[in-house]
């Protein structure tokens, strides 16, 4: 007698269906685990700056200016782009701006973004600035508001 004719067709369909569902369940489980690991890899934050929280100073004739920022990127060997909350601080004044280009060789800083200068009795808001001669001269650019107390 033929072996295929003796197989119960209902049991074969049930067994085959169960086997297919088991394989699908395994593939779905593996896929979801891989999906979670891919999500974890994508959530890793990458920093797009060369320098994180740069700090340095300029020594002038009479005072020293300390410079801090949130991020920095090298534009060349001498020039650094300082970004986000850039502060120039000395014992006499404080100057805050964003996106300042600092030349390490010539000790010159320049910005075309809104800048806020404050000292004991004076505050200046301008469209930008240039710091030259080791921090001894600050030139304000563009529309400037001067407040003397």
Q: What is the mean pLDDT of each run of 10 residues along the chain (149 residues)?
A: 71 90 91 65 55 79 81 86 88 88 85 90 90 80 86
User: What residues contact 89, with CB distance under 8 A and at least 6 apart?
Assistant: 65, 66, 67, 68, 95
Using the Cα atoms of residue 96, residue 99, residue 105 and residue 106 in order, give the sign of their dihedral. Answer: negative
pTM, two decimal places: 0.62
E-strand ranges in 10-92 read 51-52, 55-59, 64-68, 71-74, 79-83, 86-89
CB 128 within 8 A of CB 110: yes
Nearest Cα residue to 50 out of 74, 68, 28, 69: 74
């Amino acid at each position: 007698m033929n072996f295929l004719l003796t197989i119960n067709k209902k049991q074969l369909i049930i067994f085959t269906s169960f086997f297919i569902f088991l394989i699908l369940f395994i593939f779905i489980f593996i896929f979801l685990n891989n999906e979670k690991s891919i999500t974890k890899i994508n959530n890793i934050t990458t920093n797009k700056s060369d320098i994180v929280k740069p700090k340095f100073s300029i020594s002038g004739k009479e005072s020293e200016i300390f410079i801090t920022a949130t991020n920095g990127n090298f534009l060349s060997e001498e020039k650094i782009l300082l970004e986000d909350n850039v502060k120039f601080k000395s014992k006499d004044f404080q100057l805050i701006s964003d996106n300042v280009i600092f030349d390490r060789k010539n000790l010159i800083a320049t910005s075309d973004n809104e800048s806020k200068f404050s000292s004991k009795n004076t505050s200046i808001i301008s469209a930008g600035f240039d710091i030259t001669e080791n921090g001894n001269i600050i030139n304000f650019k563009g529309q400037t508001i001067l407040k003397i107390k």
